[in-house]
A and B are shown apart, each in its own frame.
Chain A
Amino acid sequence: MLYVAVAVRAFRRYSTYTVATLAGAFTNSVFGIVISFVYLAVWAQSPHAGGYDAKDAVTYCWLAQAMIATVSIWAGGATDDVAARIRTGDIAVDLYRPASFLGWWLATDLGRAAYHLASRGVAPTIVGALLFHIRFPSNPLVWLLFLLSVTLGVMVSFGIRMLVACSAFWLLDHTGLLNVSTVCAMFFSGLAVPLVLFPGWTRDVVLHLPWAAYVQVPIDVWLGKSTGAELVAALGFQAAWVVVLLGACAVVLRLADRKVVLQGG
């Protein structure tokens, strides 16, 4: 199938950047070590903060590092190519391809994410498991549900990043919006600090924003914090944001298609 072929080629394309991958995994590991000690200090003071114990917290830290590249929290990924192609005008070719524009780029991004999960996701997790006590799900079904949740997380992230990239149709330079989006992703995904630690009502708010689907939700699946009906609700929450965001992308693309005169004619 076309989209599978696209995804496989994106996987292979990213897999050629070996040195960048190793260097990135190295940086993720360094930060993982620092943050592990920070969390251990927090949970030494408050052993049940956010409903986690210390082992949950350290596991959270390493999985969050594993998610940075996979979910493209620091921007990057296929949508950067889209923005660049809008600026140069190459996007015209993409819009006339006999394949769905969104499907094409989503497949590219999922291929990239699969590679990043297998490399920059697995490598720091191994480092974390060697240096600290981290939790692994014993039930194989949880591993599958975790993979599903990560996939949905990547799709939510893709939706937001695609909307930001498409703003280049109107703004030409979308750097500002990209930065705003990156800050939101860093803080509201649970990368900077687990969302379960947020105080009072802010916790309920951040747990319902789309960015929670990036890091907090998949990790709660891994840790077994969401089970039964909660688990269905968690995956449903991610899926709902996927539908909303991809729908918004489709609308924006239709507007862009109709209204925007590409640079150079």
Chain B
Amino acid sequence: MAEPTSSALRRISWDARAFVMLAGMWVRVSWSYRTSFVMVTVASFVITAVDFLAILVMFSNVDRLGGFGLTDIAFLYGATSLCLGIADLVIGNIERLGQRIRTGTFDALMVRPVGVLVQVCADEFALRRVGRVAQGGLVFAWALVHVDVAWSAARVLVTVAMVVFGTLIFAGIYVLGASFQFLSSEGSEVANAFTYGGNAMTQYPLTIYPAEAVRAMTFVVPVAFVNWYPALFVLDRPDPFGLPSAFQLASPAAAVAVGLLAVVAWRGGVRRYRSTGS
């Protein structure tokens, strides 16, 4: 058993190195158009900040939304935006899979000695997406300072885990959405509805939605595990929908489930892929 494990490890470390090398190359490319790079990065920061400005404008009319105050909502907003931002930065390029399939450039990736997934994500790696990460991170940092929480080791741990596993959940949804593009190369908008849409939904306390919607966000597309359940634990709130409190610590399980599904879907997609020319 020792041999397959070490070969799997070697493959993962080779894939990781390949990702860093490919992404680094694209970073150098974008850095050669410095002014343009800085401008689009700032723009990505500001465009995502518009959502939060909208929340601030709403809070000039109300002091609570769905039973939560501004700092609580900033905590939820910051967490989901940071998670989506990191997932988008690292593997967001996968949404262009349909375009690659249409133009036939996907074939070239299959004959290179690097994992296809790594290449799809790292090719034309867009560092400008750190704008979104910075925006989410800034709101999250502000919320961490101002939110009314009696910090304990467990709460700090859950907060860190929230960012890690929330990112993995979004990453899994990105891969699932991309796998769907093996069936329909026009499907990227549908995938967006789950990634960006899931992000938009979880920017607010789920108490504003009907119970059925929250159940769908728990059991069907488990974006509620990105920030809602861990946040209930950190903010020390009982679940307003009366769902088991164990859910509040179940984000890792949700991430593993989405991840496994994503791996199966991606492998199935690659296996049944037939070039546009054939």
Give the B-binding residues of A (Cβ under 8 A). 19-20, 23-24, 26-27, 30-31, 34, 37-38, 40-42, 45-46, 49-50, 173, 175-176, 179-180, 182-183, 186-187, 192-193, 197-199
Contacts and interface: CB of A to CB of B under 8 A. Distances in A.
B53 A46 contact: no
Contact of B197 (A31, A41, A49, A173): A31
B64 interface: yes
Interface in B65-83: 65-66
Interface in B19-62: 33, 35-36, 39-40, 43-44, 46-47, 50-51, 53-54, 57-58, 60-62
Interface residues of B, number: 38
B207 to A, nearest CB: 8
Contact of A46 (B62, B186, B201, B208): B62
A53 to B, nearest CB: 13
Contacts of A38: 58, 65, 204, 208
A49 B208 CA distance: 17
Interface stretch (B6-14, B154-162, B188-196, B246-254): B188-196
B54 A193 contact: yes
Contacts of A46: 61-62
Nearest to A188: B50
B211 interface: no
A85 to B, nearest CB: 20
A183 B190 contact: no
A55 to B, nearest CB: 17
Contacts of A50: 61
**Interface secondary structure of B, over-half rule:** helix
A30 to B, nearest CB: 4
B189 A175 contact: no
A41 B213 CA distance: 15
B81 to A, nearest CB: 14
Given A192-B51, A197-B57, A197-B58, A23 B36 contact: no
A44 to B, nearest CB: 9
Nearest to B63: A45
Contacts of A49: 61-62
Nearest to A35: B200
A176 B39 contact: yes
A76 to B, nearest CB: 14
Nearest to B38: A176
B58 A179 contact: no
Nearest to A195: B57
Contacts of B189: 20, 23-24, 26-27
B209 interface: yes
A193 B208 contact: no
B60 A197 contact: yes
Contacts of A24: 189
A176 B65 contact: no
A198 B204 contact: no
A199 B56 CA distance: 10
A217 B50 CA distance: 20
Q: Which residue, B50, B65, B210, has most C-beta atoms of chain A within 10 A?
A: B50
B39 to A, nearest CB: 3
B40 A176 contact: yes
B61 A26 contact: no
A37 B209 contact: yes
A199 B60 contact: yes
19 contacts: A23-B187, A23-B190, A24-B189, A27-B192, A37-B208, A37-B209, A41-B204, A42-B62, A45-B64, A49-B61, A50-B61, A175-B39, A179-B47, A182-B47, A186-B50, A187-B54, A192-B53, A193-B54, A193-B57
